[in-house]
Amino acid sequence: MAGPDGALRCPWALSTEDYVAYHDEEWGRPVHGDDALFERLSLEAFQSGLSWITILRRRPGFRAAFADFGIAKVAAFTETDRARLLTDAGIIRNRAKIDATLANARVLAEWAPGELDTFIWSYAPAAGPAPKTLGDVPAVTPESTALSKALKKRGLRFVGPTTAYALMQACGLVDDHLAACVARSAP
């Protein structure tokens, strides 16, 4: 579909200006770095059952509440920090998702620097054909299922196959921009 500037974009990106910017500048672009990937993994978990726009608009609040998703910093959060998060109106105050984020940070703090980046990117599938319609974009793939199982085996929570696939899309492990989309990577 044509956006406000006439460029063709994935249809989901055209409902708000926030989505246009996110679609054009972030979604599907390679993300590297343990803290950056921890942020995306955490936000995808918070998004579960909600619309992405809800998370996107609260991202500054999430970053402030979770110390910019520094793994070591979040791993050191105390029960006082947890109580603060549960009352923070700038984020989604879901107890299970907050607890999972804190637990995940503690698990990841034990990993070697760069290990999360290498681990996640090891599940990047071979590039496939560009999807032509939204119906061609899966919610789950064998790779996202394998990533989910591997993360769970290593002790992470709230990382189901759909969340893992959304992470893969958001972080550029897969390019699910439609074939005619202006933001599609070169073939």
Binding residues for Zn(2+): 10, 23, 177, 181
> Burial of 106 by CB count in 10 Å (0-12 exposed, 13-18 middle, 19+ buried)?
middle
Residues annotated catalytic, as ranges: 22, 44, 52
Instruction: Pick out the residues of the known binding site.
Output: 10, 23, 177, 181
CB 158 within 8 A of CB 97: yes
> What long-range pairs does 12-18 form, CB within 8 A, spacing at least 24?
12/134, 15/53, 16/53, 18/53, 18/56, 18/57
> Rounded to whole angstroms, how far apart are CA atoms 66 and 137?
31
